[in-house]
Amino acid sequence: MTDMTLIPATATALPAPFHARHLIGGRTCDSADGAVTDRLSPAHGTLVSRAAKGGTAEVDAAVAAARAALAGWAATTGKARAAILLKVADLIEINATQMALLECLETGKPISQARGEVTGSADLWRYAAALARTHKGDSHNSLGADMLAVVLKEPRGVVSIITPWNFPIWILSQKLPFALAAGCTCVIKPSELTPSTTAMLGDLLMQAGLPEGVANIVLGEGQPVGARMVSHPDVDMVTFTGSSAVGRAIAAEAGKSLKKVALELGGKNPQVIFPDADLDSAADAVTFGMVFNAGECCNSGSRIIVHADIAEAFTARVVALSGQVAFGDPLHPDTQVGAIVTPEHAARIDGFVHAAKAAGARVTLGGGPLSIPGLGGQFYAPTVLTGVTADMAIAREEVFGPVLSVLTFRTLDEAIALANDAAYGLSAGVWSENVHTCLSFARRVQAGTIWTNTWMDGFPEVTFGGMKQSGLGREIGSYGLEEFLEVKSVAMRVGRTRAPWVKTV
């Protein structure tokens, strides 16, 4: 095995556990029955946070508060909404150090990455603030001298927002500010594994002057909190980020009342590497895509499709680079990859790797847990599997860990067929110096985002979302705002020009 770059436990003193509470109707509170959930650091094993554990009573109260606040918030001007969103962005930046530390300790991700996620999320709030003032409908003045029609865009209503554990503040910021910019009111449930930054954001919303009940937070588990947020008759829309299995269940439940649903789900994202590519840049990006956030990322570059003539040499580059990636204590500023979120998830990753070996794949790098001096065993080595065929589970299913499958191709048509041979369609990448190759790939591959000669670059202005079982709808960008708006057409007759339909005698 390639020698790894390991960063042992630091002597950093850990903060006292954070107390996360619900936010309902503008007031923070614990659960009526006193139930709580404790979260231990996946890297250090110490208590990070103690969160109120809600139930249906808290959800019902939060939905009632959101419904009561809807008319007032929907009637506010875009200017007023934007002013509050901009204040929230400023407060996120002011509190970024504490928020990043909480994300680092709850998720296991490196502190440098957590800090970038928190500060980057402020930019999403600022972009949503711009949309609050600039979004508009349409007018039609070519319908004849006696007719005028306008298309209005109105807030959809009360929105349930359910977010995952891997990017808590970032994914919430892809949804909440856009819903608020549209004039919707919200009920939010973060993952029970990572409640703290969402609860902290609730305090910042109140400091920014958001009216009571416009945004409510209920902490707890998918059953019963998430389930009630989906089935509640006074909820008009559900937006969810998480697994495809849960997304399908949400869509089925929401379909009973025909709620609007927006789903950002899993991915099995391919990168296709042609021989004429800048192979050094491609190898670096592939390594990044494999291990970023310990592979716990829907956009993880979990499979590469490499031209057969360069496959062996290119894979060797990725293996060599992987040995230089710093794994270890998330609190160390030089750490690039931290801990796996739970022991159960680490076991799931390992199960995929063992199944791939049994199916005939070869472990070229890694293949098991990683021991970090002074820390627990909740780390997993970067793992590269070669000899992978398209029918193997490791090539088709989302592992959500630092595991890379290597497949090979000979022709562009074969590469595109392999890229599309998955149930998912979230993102894909192509590496070639030939613009025609890149454009052909981008037009034919079935994915919501295509990267050419790069990987995982994102901007608030550029919308994000998937095809096939990677989800429904779009987030961020102007399309992300549209998800929270209902379209209404108004046709107006000018003057008394309508000819009578009923013929009177």
Of 58, 192, 264, 483, the catalytic one is 264
Q: What is the pLDDT of residues 30-40, one digit of tens each?
A: 999 999 999 99
The whole-angstrom separation of Cα 276 and Cα 2 is 27
The reply to whether domains 12-265+470-489 and 270-452 share a CATH topology is: no
Q: To which H or E segment does residue 155 belong?
A: strand 147-155
What DSSP character marks residue 382?
-
Q: What is the largest CA-CA distance in the chain?
A: 98
Average pLDDT, consecutive stretches of 10 residues, N- to C-terminus, the chain (505 residues)? 85 93 98 96 96 98 98 98 98 98 98 98 98 96 95 98 98 98 98 98 98 98 98 98 96 96 97 98 98 97 98 98 97 98 97 98 97 91 97 97 98 98 97 98 98 97 97 97 98 92 88
The pTM assigned to this predicted structure is 0.97
312 is catalytic: no
Domain 270-452, what fold?
A: Aldehyde Dehydrogenase; Chain A, domain 2 (3.40.309)
Of 184, 186, 297, 298, the catalytic one is 298
Task: Determine the distance from the C-alpha atom of residue 190 to the mean position of all C-alpha atoms in its chain, rounded to a whole number.
Answer: 12
Q: What is the pLDDT of residues 158-187, one digit of tens each?
A: 999 999 999 999 999 999 999 999 999 999
Domain 12-265+470-489, what fold?
A: Aldehyde Dehydrogenase; Chain A, domain 1 (3.40.605)
Q: Residue written as tokens 């930046």? A: 93
Say which amino acid occupies 33: D
Domains of the chain, by residue range, sit at 12-265+470-489, 270-452
The whole-angstrom separation of Cα 402 and Cα 287 is 9
The whole-angstrom separation of Cα 214 and Cα 25 is 8
264 is catalytic: yes
Say which amino acid occupies 90: D
Pull the structure tokens for residue 412: 């562009």
Q: What is the pLDDT of residues 380-391, one digit of tens each?
A: 999 999 999 999
The whole-angstrom separation of Cα 286 and Cα 121 is 25
Of 15, 20, 188, whose CA–CA distance to 105 is shortest?
15
- What angle is formed at CA 131 by the lines to CA 126 and CA 132, rounded to 5 degrees? 95
